[in-house]
Each structure stands twice: as C-alpha cells, then as structure tokens.
A = this chain, B = another copy of it.
Amino acid sequence: MTLDRVLKAESVAIVGASRAVTKRGYQAIRILLEEKYGGRIYPVNPKEDSILGLRCYKSISDIEGPVDLALITTPAKTIPKLLEECGHKGVKGAVIIAGGFGETGAEGRKLENLMVETARANNIRLIGPNTSGMMNLHQRLNLVGLRDAPEGNIALLSQSGNMALTLITEAKLKSRKGFSYYVGVGNEADIKFHEYLEFFRQDENTRAILMYVEGMRQGREFLQQAYKTTLEKPVVLLKSGRSATGKRSAGSHTGALAGMSEVARSAFQRAGIIWIEKSDQLFPVAETLSSLPPIKSNQVAILADGGGHATIAADLLTDLGVELPRLAEKTQEKLRAILPSAASVPNPVDVAGGTDADPSLFADCARIILQDPNIGGLLLVGLFGGYGIRFAESLALKEEDAAHQMGKMVRKYKKPIVVHSLFASEKPHALDLLRYYDISVYDSLDVACKCIGSLAEYGRYLKAYHTKMNFELNPDQKAHPEGRALIETVRRDGRRALLEPEAKRLLEIHGAPASRDRIAATAEEAVRLARDIDERVVLKIVSPDILHKSDAGGVMVGLKTEKQVRQGFATIVKNARRYNPKADIRGVLVAPMAPSGVEVIIGTQIDDQFGPTIMYGLGGILVEVLKDVVFRVLPISRSVAKRMIEETQSSKMLDGLRGNPPCDKKALVNLLLLCSDLVEAYPEIEEMDLNPVIVHEQGLSVVDARIILKDAAPPAPGNK
C-alpha cells in the first residue's frame, strides 16, 4: 500500500482539537486555515461545537465525508481506542504526536506494540509516535506547529523536531530553496525510513532528500531503497549518536538504536548517500545537490580574488578527495590575456586585483575556466557580491551583470558553480541573483567547499555505479547439499558452534582452498598422518566443549619428529581434560604448518540495524593494536571486496614490501566473496571468524575457522 493517501491527504481530522490557543489541537487548525490547506479540516472534540469557525465533531465517526488522515494530539494511552474508531471510519493514516511509548522503557514498548497491532488490524498507517508532525508543503498540509516553512523541492526526514526546525529556519533565512515535505519519523513504530524514502523517490515534487538520523530500525531495507533512490535523486544524511554520550542522549530522545558508526557510514556511502558529519553542512549540501548538476570529472577549479581563501579552499577540497588539476595551457593563456601580470592562473586562479575596477571580469574568467574540458565545476571564493558594498556602489551593477552571466553559464555548460562570499550575510542583490539561477552561495568557506565537494562525490558515485551491487540477500540460493547436511548434523548435535574441521569443510565445499588437515583419534594415527604430511605439523584439540583451544592448552605448533607428535598428542589431550573434565573430545587435528605470508582476518556478524556484515583487516597480534579493519554490509561484489582490501592501511603489505613477493590478492578477494556467499546461502550463520588467514604468493591458507550458528529457535515473525 502506498503512502499517497497519508502524505497527500485531502482531508484531515484533528483529534484533540481545542479552543485553547496554547494547545497543539488549536494551533494545528489555525495554521491549516492560515496557510490555506485545500482539503477538508474536521476538528474532533466531544466537548466543543465549533473551533475557529469550523464545526467540531464529537467523534471521528460523526464526520460525514471521507477522512484520509487523522492528526491525534491526545495522550499515549488514548491512542489504541482512537485508532479503532479511525479504522471504522476508513481513515488511512494517523500522525501520533504523543510521547510515552517505546522511548520510555518496557511499559511504553508494550503500549507501542498494542498501538501498532491495532493500526494494522484497521489498515491504518502511522507516522510517529513521539513526532513533531508532518507537512506536505505543496498541498499546504501543515501538521506541525511551525509557520511559513519555505516551499521547495527538498524532502526532509528527521528523527528530531529541533533539527527539522533548525533546517527549516536555515532555509528561510539563508536560501531561496525550500521543502516538498517534512516528516518527523518519531519512533518509526509503523512507517519506517525506507518507506518514506520510496515515496519520495517517486514523488515528482521532490528533487533531493535530506535526513537527520539517530538510529534506524530496518537498516537493510533502507539501504536497498537508498540504492535505488540515489540513482534518481541525491540523498543527504547526518547520523548522530556516534559517541557514548551521544548515544545516551539519542536513547533518551527517540529510543533509536545508535548503531555501529563504521558499518553505517560505509553502507550509506556504498548506497550513494552523501554522508555529512557537521550539522552546518546539512542543509547547504542538500540545497546544492537539489539544484546543481553533479560534477562528472571530479576535477574542480578555484577562482579567487586573494590568496588566503584559495589556499584554505585547496586544502579542504583535497581533503574531500577532489582533484584540482592545473588548467590546460590554452585556458591559462586566455586567463593571462585578461588578468594583470601578478595574477596566478594554474589553479587556483587568483585575479590579483584584476576585478577591483570591474567585477564582471569574474564572469569572463568563469567562462574560460568552465570551457576547459577537464574542469567539471567551479568554486568562486572571496569578495564577490561585496564590491558594490566595499569599493564603489557602481560596481554592484557589474556584479549583477556577472551574476546573470554565470547563471546562464551553469545552464549552458551543465557544470556547477558554487560561491563563497564574505558578504553573503549582507544580502547584496548580485548574490540573490546567483541563487535565483540555482548557484549556491555561502558565507562559510568550509560549507562552500563541502557543497562543491559533494557534487563531485555524487558524480563519482554515479560514474562508478555499475561496479556497485544492491544489498538484497538471496537466502538458500547457493546452499550445497553437503553443507546443508553438515549444518543439520550440528543442529542435531545440539550445538551452535561448528568444530574447526566442520567449519573448514564448509568453506571448502564452497570453493576455499582444500585444507590438508586430518583428525587423529590416537597418538599412533597422529604420527601416521604427520608422516603423510611430511613437514612440520600443528596439533589442535577437537571438541565441541572447547571453543578457545589455545586457552585450554589445546594447540601445539612446529612438531617434526615422531616423538614430538606422539608426546604432543598426549599433552594436548591431557591439557584438554584438565581444562574441562567433561569435554567430549572428538580427536586431535593434524595439520601442516602454513607457509609464510601476510596474516589477515575475516569475520562476519549480524548487525542490529543492517543485518549480516563482514569485517576484513590485518591479522595476528597487530589486529588488536592497530584496528586496521574495514566493515561492509553483505552481500559484497568483487569490486567492493577489492576496495575493502585497498582501504586498509596494511594493504601495501600484500603488495610485497622490501623485496618480499606480492601476495595473492585475487585469492583473498575470492575468499571474501565466498564468505559473503556463505552467509547468504546459510542464513543460520550468526558469526564467522577466519583468523588468521595467511595469504601467500600463490593462494592462501585458512589457518583457523570458527562458525557459530544462530539460536535454533525460529526467528520472530514480521517486524522486529
């Protein structure tokens, strides 16, 4: 069921309508009237006859016409019953303002569940609870106690009413842009982020989506939807709650899960979302992406009327991964022809006073720069807009001329211009003109850089899109009969952990390099197996009751002679018995010592918000110290696997340092993909830990493998 009747409601009941001017149930009606909402408004309150000139209904069922949406402003405990009434009336959606649900603890969670069940049973979709409300600005359907929000093409989804207020105020004060919708998602009890996203993707009034998130309940569904959405429209997101205190604060705020930031960030970026860390940048980036074309080449030029801003901007853009190439020789020549000799033209371009007498020269420079085929966008920094203020009023006209020219240029060349102006807060007309042509203007250099940087980032994403893959898991598709049987054996055995040989076998079935490990039941058998291997061997205890083999004294390495192997066998078994007298010992693993190479680690686990994820990093003792690891949401593609390896600082070790041969990265990529496949094929897997994996010049060795299954209990049906 689409959200059309909810978010584009043509009739709305205000349940909890009031004549008291400080009450939400009064303000909501007043704003709808003032802003001239085109649909029907039905106040509901058993104690009133009319409010603000509108007839007031005793109950929802008394309303004669159809009702799309109910705004419910009454306290938490009244909601389930009201939703039943709404159901009988055929109401499609409800906005629940009240707090006192899941965010307050167990009691509230119960009430929230009851509310959601009631809504489902009555075919009602819920926005909230614990929300500041919802606005459809094109329809003037304003169910938030906030006037004069500017209309435009940005859809705003926020988990904090204050952040929404900040962003709307910022738009009003500093921009010509505005919003198509605002939804305060509240506790996401029913409608989730991803459903709003899907709606906005299809909404013709929306050109960009701006999100403030503290935590997500269905991260994977969101990623899947985001993956589709960002191909059509940019999505800009700030996620807070990274720090322990931040999480404490978010927890008391909307009861959201403030999940692992690393996973979230890499997943959002893989889905093409522009990830923002500073709240000052959030609206500007959304505004810029909603109206300017993405940069195709990742190459930007800076045009300045003084060195300081240009130098800082160059630093910031470099940090953002944007290239600032030298301009083509021909471009430099043309610039030199119109600028004073002190000007610097390679990029950044510093006009060195050349615009002092005539700032329309900025437009000439901009044109020459945008005509350079390498350059995908232009950042203008400095005083533009202030020449008329600072030097002579007559220059304001020349600035306005330049603004018109630059505005048309952006459209002609389909390359963006972003402007930093020291005088933005003085609101000169030239800057307003630029905004009229969709050129972004900021008085913050940091913000301006982030904006043009985001156009480049979005351009990079769209260009590399074919190398990405969606986040849809494909369970049971690639399971192998032998693997399935193996897992069933473990289940029958009442275990959750696979034995090391079982885990390695499962990997092998799916294409991991064959292991030469064998299990010996007796010391003599161990000697024989070691003889077959014919090199130094490792012995390891095999027991479902001993997960941490080293801790139990259950591992011995580098054994060579028959005597060593025989004694080793005895020692290991003795240690194991001492460690856990009741341990069911299934034998001793006899394995060749892995040849030398680079130690890495691969793990998978289930993230609360995003489901199955994979970790890769440097292995051995260093992993604990250096935390040189990267995370991804599964499944991953070959290019993502490659990228993971490249992102670690230690990736150079695999390239072969100081005369060491390069390692077999292809085998490593294959192993990462295999892990990804395995988690898809066997959704029972909760956790997998290959540590260490030793990557050789040719091939690799999985030295130890641990696989833990989920609890055997069937997963809860429906929503979490």
Contact = CB atoms under 8 A, between A and B. Distances in A.
Interface of A: 22, 99-100, 158-163, 165-166, 169, 173-174, 212, 214, 238, 240-246, 248-250, 252-254, 278-280, 302, 304-312, 314-315, 317-319, 324, 342, 344, 346-348, 350, 357, 382-383, 422-423, 425-426, 444-447, 621-622, 624-628, 649-650, 652-653, 657-658, 660
A654 to B, nearest CB: 10
A610 to B, nearest CB: 20
B626 A280 contact: no
Contacts of A245: 314-315, 317-318, 324, 347-348
A246 B447 CA distance: 18
A314 to B, nearest CB: 4
A26 to B, nearest CB: 13
Contacts of A249: 302, 307, 310-311, 314, 344, 348, 350
Given A162-B305, A626-B650, A278 B446 contact: yes
Given A246-B318, A248-B346, A350-B253, A163 B626 contact: no
Contacts of A214: 307-308, 311
Contacts of A302: 249
Nearest to A660: B621
Contacts of A307: 160, 162, 214, 249-250, 252-254
- Complex copy number for this chain: 2
Interface centre among A162, A306, A382 (most CB of B within 10 A): A162
A221 B425 CA distance: 39
A444 B446 CA distance: 12
A246 B315 contact: yes
Nearest to A445: B279
B625 A246 contact: no
Nearest to A214: B311
Contact of A624 (B212, B627, B657): B657
A173 B252 contact: no
20 contacts: A22-B357, A160-B308, A162-B306, A162-B307, A238-B312, A240-B308, A240-B312, A242-B315, A243-B317, A245-B324, A245-B347, A248-B314, A252-B344, A279-B446, A621-B657, A621-B658, A622-B653, A624-B657, A624-B658, A625-B657
A166 B422 contact: yes
A279 B252 CA distance: 34
A162 B383 contact: yes
Contacts of A627: 649
A314 B252 contact: no
B446 A280 contact: yes
B653 A246 contact: no
A308 B312 CA distance: 30
Contacts of A280: 280, 444-447
A704 to B, nearest CB: 14
Given A280-B444, A314-B243, A422-B169, A308 B253 contact: yes
Given A346-B248, A626-B649, A253 B311 contact: yes
Contacts of A309: 160, 162-163, 166
Contacts of A161: 306, 308
